Structure 1
């Protein structure tokens, strides 16, 4: 599967929509505007902050790399890994690539597969979905933050022993319906390579790849 061609300005708008929902979902700082994009403080030992560049230029990436000395600094560059790989050096590591995706939202009432239960709750603008077995064992989860006309799906996960049973579809359709009922018209996410097939099967469209890198220098 390849990304559908999307113009740069549209990608920039979608990236900002993703950020607006992601910071609510994760409880991070507000994004700080930069000439090349945004900086967000996440506040975790392995994820102190991130720089998000919707249209990464080599000069900007090289300048950020040269100025970075703090482990746990991340770069989210909306380009493929091979494009940005020559721009970074020692101490930078590639995480799994991501894919910026959207879907038109509509009312959905997915059926819960036999042998599972679904629980949902909302707090701080984030709705969380939990799927468990009849015995209460974890099976799948996900969450969504609706911010006006867009809603960001986040942290979608299905336990290995419960994959290929329709639980990922159940979580996504439930989150999409929740966002629709909250007034959002477009779903936005950055999906992993593993999740992309599921999202595509549910009507999500890919707009751009995203290279994800973190700084972890080799100990002296």
Structure 2
């Protein structure tokens, strides 16, 4: 496919993310999309692929529910300047993409891999040979796009290539399911791993949660 712009990549990402997390269908807004997530600390999120201060200011003024999140594809300093102190800024994140193809996967000695699919979500679990949790991840296929999500390696098992095993396994599954492009949002640590696997950063993403102080009494 031709190179996609940030707005198109963001739409690809949320189409897969809602499948992975079991969230509501995205509701189109003039500035992006709203998604109901339905958790106590994550009631809903507003996703703005090309945010402006005016758009964000209006959303901030209209927000009264704690646990509402803003996902702004802008750098953290710019995003912070648009919100009030009641909004907590999470760790930096990055929108990334890559072409999908067949990947060779080598399981390090001492580990075993299990994978399974439910609906359009593939999950991978890595354990030690004696059954201890080591790493995991999942990927949703939405049309021609694969969206990896919730990639995790236990602290005691990091720097052993397990994150790469999880990602390559998921990428293979997405490719076999007909997906041509991978899109994800990565933490700073995740970005370093994914870059070594051929992913390219397309945009920073600022993530903010509305968390006003609780009134005494």
Whether the TM-score (by the shorter chain) exceeds 0.5 is: yes
Q: Deviations over 1:34-85 (max 9, x none)?
A: 0000000000000000000000010010010011110100000000001111
Tell me the equivalent position of 2:93. Answer: 98
Where does residue 174 of structure 1 map in the other structure? 169
The CA deviation at 1:127 is 0.4
Length-normalised TM-score, structure 1: 0.95
**Equivalent residue for 1:27?**
22
Correspondence for 1:114: 109
CA RMSD of aligned residues (A): 1.0
Aligned residue for 2:12?
17
Count residues in correspondence: 213
1:83-102 per-residue CA deviation (whole Å, 9 max, x = no partner) reads 11111012100011210001
Residue 53 of structure 1 pairs with residue 48 of structure 2: yes
Per the alignment, residue 183 of structure 1 pairs with: 178
- 1:90 partner SS: coil
Q: 1:107-137 CA deviation, whole Å, 9 max, x = no partner? A: 1130111100101111021000000011111
Q: CA deviation at 1:21?
A: 0.3
Give CA-to-partner distance per residue, 1:147-181, whole Å, 9 cap, x none: 11111000000000000000001001101101000
How far, CA to CA, are the matches of 1:22 and 1:90 in structure 2?
28
Structure 2 gap segments, 5+ residues each: none
* Other-structure match for 1:198: 193
Where in structure 1 are there 5+ consecutive unaligned residues?
1-6
2:37 is aligned with 1:42? yes
Aligned to 1:157: 152
Which of 203, 206, 215 aligns to 1:211? It is 206
Q: In structure 2, how many angstroms separate the alpha carbons of the residues matched to 1:124 and 1:25?
A: 10
Give the whole-Å Cα distance in 2 for the aligned partners of 1:91 and 1:83: 16
Which residue among 52, 59, 63 is the counterpart of 1:64?
A: 59
- CA distance in 2 between counterparts of 1:97 and 1:212 reads 7
Distance 1:43 1:109 in 2: 38
* Cα distance in structure 2, aligned partners of 1:131 and 1:95: 28
| TM-score normalised by structure 2 residue count | 0.96
